[in-house]
Structure 1
Amino acid sequence: MAEPPNVTADHRQKHFLQRSGTDNHKKTEHHSPRSADQEAQRNLAVPFRGLIRGGMRTGKKVIVVGVVDPRPDRFYLGLSCGCGTSREPPSDVALELCVRFRDRQVLRRARVSGTWGEVDRAVPFFPFIRDQPFRIEIYCEQSRFRVLVDGQQLFDFYHRVTSLKEVDTLWINGSLSVTKLG
């Protein structure tokens, strides 16, 4: 089965997203399929922070494929300008998506110049099921991000951070495991 051209798992990671931080994995001389799979799993470990090469722009998309934990609480996805720290997000977050399982909410917000904006809550359905796989696609359009889950449009989020090329970091955290990025 052919993979999409933006897939970043295993050796293709360098073309789109690069894990940031101090992850220094030693490469071995022997590359069996199993060791490549293990390396890909380490590169996609949650919490994840990765570089979006060239930043976002109209027509670009980010794909996150994963599995919800068996006993999920919540998980987060974010697109930001820089990676911030573990205690403090960057000053500009173009989109923070929070999926809460207890009340079946999908919350979205942005942070501009260090200030969080209002939370958007309305979605037509709650697409995430515990212990089940999912595919989130975030399309960058001229005035908004269009977000689909498993091929169904979930919401549009209009840009608050307007310098899209500076939106260069994807981060993921919470009750999920990531299997593929693109």
Structure 2
Amino acid sequence: MIISANGKPFSEYKHRLPFSHVNSICVGGLVEVNLIAFQDLATHHAATPGSFRVPYKSIIHGGLQPGKAIIIQGVISHSANRIELNLRHKTGVAFYYSPRFDTNVVVCKSYENGKKVKDKRSKDMPFELGKPFLVTIYCTHQRYEVFVSGKEVHTYKHHYTKLEDIDVLEISGDVQLSFVQP
């Protein structure tokens, strides 16, 4: 098990029990915890870093639910135009997140049956060309919260509310992926 802090590997721990026997976690000391996520990485972790092919597509087993976190790590190309992250369901895209370097804007939107539902643009660009990144998309009851390197940078209200039906993650664009946890 790898333990990360502030988006960077911090420690490695060889666990002695199966994860199915763990029923609690204790955090002590002077610390503020923003997110703790438990996911089964066995089916998603690539054999070697950097071996996630782009475009990337994966099933989100069980769909989304409040408290679910999707983690994406990689490096942005030096000449990137855009990156696109999609959370899909059968009839559309529940959440489209796209840093666009050519216009220096981040676009959030959703689609239903091929038609745009809501478009939100932000000039707050938390990504840099040629630099590594760590994105966490955290699902709450009301919205998606996007964290970059541990800092909340964007939010987007749910327009498609059957969260359990949102079961596909797609990643495309000018990026090299090193880790994905759908």
Q: Give TM-score, length-normalised by structure 1.
A: 0.74
Deviation at 1:114, TM superposition (A): 3.0
The question of whether the paired residues in 1 share the 8 Å contact of 2:50 and 2:179 is answered with no
Q: Whose strand proportion is higher, 1 or 2?
A: 2
1:99 Cα deviation after fit = 1.1
Which whole-Å CA distance do the structure 1 matches of 2:96 and 2:75 have between them? 19
Which residue number in structure 2 is paired with residue 101 of structure 1? Answer: 101
Partner residue of 1:79?
87
1:26-41 counterparts in 2 under 5 A?
36-37=47-48, 41=50
Greater helix share, structure number: 1
Does the residue aligned with 2:164 lie in a helix, a strand or coil?
helix
Distance 2:175 2:71 in 1: 15
Which secondary structure does the structure 1 equivalent of 2:138 belong to?
strand
Cα distance in structure 1, aligned partners of 2:158 and 2:47: 37
1:41 deviates by 4.1
Q: Deviations over 1:105-144 (max 9, x none)?
A: 1001001233212310125x31111111001111100010
For 2:112 and 2:129, the matched residues in 1 are separated by 32
- Whether 1:6 aligns to 2:29 is no
Instruction: Please say if 1:64 is aligned against 2:62.
Output: no
Q: Which runs of no fewer than 5 residues in structure 2 stay unpaired?
A: 4-36
Q: CA RMSD in A?
A: 2.1
TM-score, structure 2 length as denominator? Answer: 0.74
Match of 2:57 in 1: 49
State the aligned residue count. 148
Q: Which 4+ stretches in 1 moved above 3 angstroms?
A: none
Aligned to 1:115: 115
Give, in whole Å, the separation in 2 of the partners of 1:180 and 1:7.
13
> Secondary structure at 1:95's aligned position in 2?
strand
2:140 is aligned with 1:141: yes
Indicate the percent of aligned positions where both proteins have the same amino acid. 27
Displacement after TM superposition at 1:154 (Å): 1.0
**8 A contact 2:73–2:179 mirrored in 1:** yes
